[in-house]
Structure 1
């Protein structure tokens, strides 16, 4: 029951991160990395933010064709698909974006997310590590990899490291992540292994 509550809370946090972030984040819209029409791109983003999925999808598809070097439209198409729980099409969009720019941290992070949703947790870990290799200060990846380490891989010390880094990068305002850190630090295993840090 506690695990089910935590997983539900995780999904809520992920949805919030995606919806509110700017600049991978796993749950957010992405600015175009190559020159494209700012007006067209802003219109597509506005459609996406307003919930007009069909309109946003058509707008980003058109932008992707018009600006074949831009990764933003493909990444946002992937985010739209992932939010609709259409993980296979989402992965195709993210992979297409990564063909255009292999260091697109948002696409790398989202690939970790959709790969984990498909049940491949080691594959998800690989994608998250690629995202951190591309940009180690990308907060959403630290959150996602921390959740993976804690809930699936059962590696508390690694989870703590990434939760702490996430809080450091985001100003420590996420009270839920603060609670997760406290719970992990209070755990018997953590205390036993880290007695020198606790004392």
Structure 2
């Protein structure tokens, strides 16, 4: 089994490398688990289904685990890792070739579909990118990384209402996945002109990621343009 730990715990087996204002990238790689996450991986609950499943933490931590059955052997994992490195190096055609091979042998994993979509988008093949994002979302509906990438792609295509719907559906299931809050805020601010929505999601993101000074500047600008946009929202950022 491969496990994705969402937000704070990215640790076991299949981890997510997520860009905040840009696309996330799913990457299969060993990572250092927290003791609790390691125990969960070592002793999976017998109540979990055999297929993909999502478990939200109930012990006070903010986050989630996505568990997927993996048929990857060592060679397939190595191919996946090589393809991920090639995407970073902008060798998209070679990455696509490897990822297609990985998917042919392990079609049930979401990460190869997400990374393949990213590679296709980079070479301006949005139809192929959308096909693989839809497949990832068939495997795990409202998958946060797939939803984040799909929402970005839809926004760039001018399909703003669809982008918003994708974001909002994913946030209903994964409200702690903060990159989507940021991207929904950007969508509402710059493209939909829904300033109340923009303020709400900039604030949520800013509270979770206080070191992101850019968001504070954007929120300050938004409040200047419409000082009443965040009136009565009680949980606003302190902007200096």
Task: Give the TM-score band, short-chain normalised.
Answer: 0.7 to 0.9
CA RMSD of superposed structures (Å)? 2.5
* Candidates 186, 190, 195, aligned match of 2:224: 186
The Cα shift of 1:53 comes to 0.9
Distance in structure 2 (CA, Å) of the matches to 1:89 and 1:132: 25
> Take 1:28 and 1:161, find their aligned partners in 2: how far apart are those partners?
22
DSSP 3-state at the match of 2:184:
helix
Q: CA deviation at 1:87?
A: 2.1
**Contact 1:24 1:106 (8 Å CA) reproduced:** no
Secondary structure of the structure 2 residue equivalent to 1:30: strand
Tell which structure's C-alpha radius of gyration is larger: 2
Greater strand share, 1 or 2? 2
Name whichever of 23-32 and 47-56 sits farther off.
23-32
Secondary structure of 1:77's partner?
helix
Other-structure match for 1:29 = 25
Query: Given the superposition, is the C-alpha separation of residues 34 and 54 from structure 1 closer, same or farther in structure 2, using an over 3 Å criterion?
Result: farther
Consecutive unaligned residues of structure 2, counting only runs of 5 or more, are 1-15, 29-67
TM-score (normalizing by structure 2) = 0.65
2:140 is matched with which residue?
A: 101
Give structure 1 stretches of 5+ with no counterpart: 1-20
SS of alignment partner, residue 145 of structure 2 = helix
Cα contact 2:155–2:163 (8 A) shared by 1:
yes
Aligned pair in 2 of structure 1 residues 34, 24: CA closer, same or farther (>3 Å)? Answer: farther
SS at match of 1:89: helix
Q: Which residue of 2 aligns with 1:152?
A: 191
| Paired positions, count | 176
- The reply to whether residue 46 of structure 1 matches residue 94 of structure 2 is no
* 1:34, distance to aligned residue in structure 2 (A): 4.1
TM-score, structure 1 normalization = 0.77
Q: Distance between the aligned counterparts of 2:227 and 2:198, measured in 1?
A: 11
